[in-house]
């Protein structure tokens, strides 16, 4: 657990930290404003013949006035090959450092990449006023920089690119407020940074999670967050392309549902033009209807809504569900086979295609690459219980596993099989939803499975009951009022094939693949019982 990210006491801590930060920021703001005022005053004294080479671009010049044909170079592409070439770059002034009246450094950031830009006063080329102008730019402002690429002798530590830009022109495209709720560098520090600073007797600012989330627009700009959501983007791409290549159809089921969803959890209720409605807490019914509608194999990527009062590191009130449903010919292992092949493809591809992103995440939150097998390990629930019992853990053989027990089993599996990714199947029937198909040989168990990454559940899946009579019997046995689910049951009355499927939470997959400690880190705008903004 990263101590900078408290889950339990975040509200208390957040207040203290916020006060401290506010005071600090206030001081900084005053300093910056004074500096800017002074710079402006100084500048106004002089009529600079090189004045056209810098300044704020008025908004009236940013309204699509013309197509000039100028080419901007991406910061990330700047390397030695650009030596002596004049380039135009756009990015944020991440840090501005005045060295003297004649020299200043600006680190310009463009997405994930940074380059050091040097402003040196030089007769007829760069004026002292321009150096002053640069030092008055607020951090995080957008700037256009035109300059000549040079290659310094010593490696550059403060930027990702190993070249410098000798600035000839610099314009502010859009100014940030001088006072930031926190600095991007502070939000990007690792535990190692904090330890090192402590050893050096320095005190670094910690940005806690609520402050980050309250100012998500700033928080998103850290290299880690930029990387996390690029990984998340890739997961969806790999998921959809893998399933399409396996003959699945990408559907969209409605999120507005009459009455309440078929499951048991709390739902968000609303009024739909005078009719009672709720937000779908899973696409369960509709994806099964698509199977009864002869699509054979379907998947969906969409929001899932849970009105539960969970304040854990792994629950959200809204998350992105990756859902799959498919006809099965004989056995729910056909569904597990899709799980196996999809995840192995996913992990392989992420490790290969997202190296840069994973490295960025690792720099702030170090983690070991996920250990997984080329062919996913499948254990039965009974085998899992046996392993736990043998290691001295007291478990109910027909009950559900607690989060803690799941973690323990994860450890045991890792020790015995060398994998942190595995499938546990044949769960006790009693702990699964009523629409789960019971095992043919033992009614105490079901044709269901959970999938785990690093000891935490990311998937629930199962063969479903496709036969209306058995479905009715099972619902009654679970104490469900048949009237409330008649639409669901009726869907299977005009011929239904045996089928099964599973649902994955996108945020959990990314969180656990990268061994992050909180699901709020992998949701762009997390929603929990207290958080509905931004």
**Least distance to its own copies, CB of residue 287, Å:** 10
Q: Which is nearer to its own copies, 173 or 393 (CB)?
A: 173
Measured torsion, CA atoms of residues 272, 276, 281, 283, in degrees rounded to the nearest 10: -70
Note if 363 is an active site residue.
no
Dihedral sign from CA coordinates of 167, 172, 176, 178? positive
Note if 297 is an active site residue.
no
User: Catalytic pick from 109, 189, 314, 520?
Assistant: 314
**Least distance to its own copies, CB of residue 48, Å:** 25
Judged on CB neighbours under 10 Å (0-12, 13-18, 19+), 152 is exposed
**Binder among 81, 303, 366, 418 for its own copies (CB under 8 A):** 303
**Least distance to its own copies, CB of residue 218, Å:** 6
User: Catalytic pick from 168, 499, 508, 520?
Assistant: 508
Contact of 248 with 225, CB cutoff 8 Å: no
Q: How far apart, in whole angstroms, are the C-alpha atoms of residue 496 and residue 499?
A: 8
Binding piece for its own copies, criterion CB under 8 A, among 14-22, 23-31, 126-134, 230-238: 230-238
Residue holding tokens 């339990």? 8
β-pair partners for 200: none
**Least distance to its own copies, CB of residue 430, Å:** 17
| 68 makes contact with its own copies (CB under 8 A) | yes
| 533 makes contact with its own copies (CB under 8 A) | yes
Q: Which is nearer to its own copies, 417 or 525 (CB)?
A: 525
Q: How far apart, in whole angstroms, are the C-alpha atoms of residue 85 and residue 88?
A: 10
Q: Which is nearer to its own copies, 34 or 244 (CB)?
A: 244
Contact of 486 with 472, CB cutoff 8 Å: no
Contact of 512 with 313, CB cutoff 8 Å: no
The H or E element containing residue 211 is: helix 209-214
Query: Cβ atoms within 10 A of the Cβ of 227, count?
Result: 22
Site size with its own copies, rule: CB under 8 A: 114
Binding piece for its own copies, criterion CB under 8 A, among 43-51, 55-63, 197-205, 385-393: 55-63
Q: How far apart, in whole angstroms, are the C-alpha atoms of residue 298 and residue 250?
A: 6
**Least distance to its own copies, CB of residue 66, Å:** 7
Note if 306 is an active site residue.
yes
User: Catalytic pick from 127, 333, 446, 460?
Assistant: 460
Mark residues 78-97: x for contact with its own copies by CB under 8 A, - for none.
Answer: ------------x-x-----
Mark residues 487-506: x for contact with its own copies by CB under 8 A, - for none.
Answer: x---xxxxxxxx-------x
Note if 314 is an active site residue.
yes
| 272 makes contact with its own copies (CB under 8 A) | yes
From residue 389, alpha-carbon distances to 325, 382, 392, 421, 453 in Å are: 34, 10, 5, 21, 21
**Binder among 21, 262, 318, 406 for its own copies (CB under 8 A):** 318
CA 114 to chain CA mean position, Å: 22
**Least distance to its own copies, CB of residue 24, Å:** 17
Residue holding tokens 């002596």? 84
91 by DSSP, 3-state: which? strand
Q: Which is nearer to its own copies, 414 or 430 (CB)?
A: 430
| 378 makes contact with its own copies (CB under 8 A) | no
Mark residues 441-470: x for contact with its own copies by CB under 8 A, - for none.
Answer: x-----x---------------x--xx-xx
Contact of 95 with 117, CB cutoff 8 Å: no
**Least distance to its own copies, CB of residue 33, Å:** 15
| 173 makes contact with its own copies (CB under 8 A) | yes
CA angle 314, 316, 317 (to 5 degrees): 155
Tokens for 166?
A: 């000798």
| 333 makes contact with its own copies (CB under 8 A) | yes
Note if 425 is an active site residue.
no
Note if 97 is an active site residue.
no
Q: Which is nearer to its own copies, 45 or 494 (CB)?
A: 494
Q: Which is nearer to its own copies, 410 or 498 (CB)?
A: 498
Mark residues 238-257: x for contact with its own copies by CB under 8 A, - for none.
Answer: --xx--x----xxxxxxxxx
Contact of 304 with 321, CB cutoff 8 Å: yes
User: Catalytic pick from 325, 327, 457, 507?
Assistant: 457
Contact of 477 with 444, CB cutoff 8 Å: no
**Binder among 229, 246, 351, 380 for its own copies (CB under 8 A):** 229
Tokens for 351?
A: 């490790």
| Entry field: residues in the chain | 534
Note if 330 is an active site residue.
no
Minimal CA–CA distance to 165: which of 101, 213, 115? Answer: 115
**Least distance to its own copies, CB of residue 40, Å:** 18
* C-alpha gyration radius of the chain: 28
Q: Point out the residues that are catalytic.
A: 306, 308, 314-315, 457, 460, 508
């Amino acid at each position: 657990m990263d101590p900078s990210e408290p889950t339990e006491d975040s509200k208390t801590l957040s207040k203290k930290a916020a006060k401290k930060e506010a005071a600090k920021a206030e001081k900084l703001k005053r300093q910056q404003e004074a500096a800017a005022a002074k710079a402006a005053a100084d500048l106004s004294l002089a009529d600079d013949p090189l004045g056209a080479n810098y300044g704020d671009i008025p908004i009236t010049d940013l309204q699509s006035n013309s197509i000039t044909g100028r080419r901007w170079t991406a910061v990330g592409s700047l390397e030695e090959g650009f030596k002596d070439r004049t380039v135009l770059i756009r990015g944020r002034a991440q840090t501005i450092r005045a060295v003297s009246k004649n020299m200043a450094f600006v680190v310009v950031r463009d997405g994930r990449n940074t380059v050091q830009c040097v402003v040196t006063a030089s007769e007829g080329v760069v004026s002292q006023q321009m150096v002053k102008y640069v030092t008055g730019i607020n951090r995080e402002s957008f700037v256009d920089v035109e300059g000549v690429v040079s290659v310094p002798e010593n490696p550059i530590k403060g930027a990702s690119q190993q070249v410098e830009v000798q600035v000839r022109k610099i314009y502010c495209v859009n100014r940030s407020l001088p006072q930031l709720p926190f600095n991007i560098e502070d939000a990007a520090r690792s535990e190692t940074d904090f330890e090192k600073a402590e050893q050096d007797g320095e005190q670094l600012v910690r940005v806690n999670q609520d402050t980050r989330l309250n100012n998500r627009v700033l928080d998103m700009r850290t290299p880690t967050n930029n990387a996390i959501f690029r990984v998340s983007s890739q997961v969806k791409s790999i998921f959809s392309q893998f399933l399409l290549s396996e003959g699945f159809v990408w559907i969209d089921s409605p999120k507005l549902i009459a009455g309440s969803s078929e499951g048991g959890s709390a739902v968000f209720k609303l009024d739909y033009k005078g009719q009672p409605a709720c937000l779908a807490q899973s696409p369960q019914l509709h994806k099964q209807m698509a199977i009864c509608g002869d699509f054979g194999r379907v998947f969906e990527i969409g929001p899932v809504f849970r009105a539960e009062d969970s304040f854990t590191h792994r629950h959200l009130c809204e998350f992105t569900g990756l859902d799959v449903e498919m006809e099965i010919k004989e056995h729910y292992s056909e569904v597990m086979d899709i799980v196996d092949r999809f995840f192995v493809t996913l992990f392989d591809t992420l490790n290969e295609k997202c190296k840069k992103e994973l490295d960025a995440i690792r720099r702030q939150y170090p983690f070991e690459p996920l250990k997984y097998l080329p062919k996913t390990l499948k254990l039965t629930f009974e085998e899992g219980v046996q392993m736990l019992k043998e290691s001295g853990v007291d478990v109910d053989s027909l009950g559900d596993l607690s989060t803690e027990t799941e973690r323990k089993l994860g450890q045991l599996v890792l020790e015995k099989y060398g994998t942190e990714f595995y499938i546990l199947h044949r769960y006790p029937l009693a702990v699964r939803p009523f629409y789960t198909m019971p095992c043919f040989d033992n009614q105490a168990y079901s044709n269901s499975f959970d999938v785990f990454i690093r000891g935490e559940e990311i998937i629930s899946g199962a063969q479903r009951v496709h036969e209306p009579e058995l479905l009715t019997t099972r619902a009654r046995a679970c104490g469900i009022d048949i009237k409330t689910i008649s639409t669901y049951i009726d869907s299977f009355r005009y011929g239904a094939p045996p089928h099964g499927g599973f649902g994955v939470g996108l945020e959990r997959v990314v969180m656990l693949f990268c061994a992050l400690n909180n699901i709020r880190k992998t949701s762009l705008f997390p929603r929990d019982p207290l958080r509905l903004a931004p």
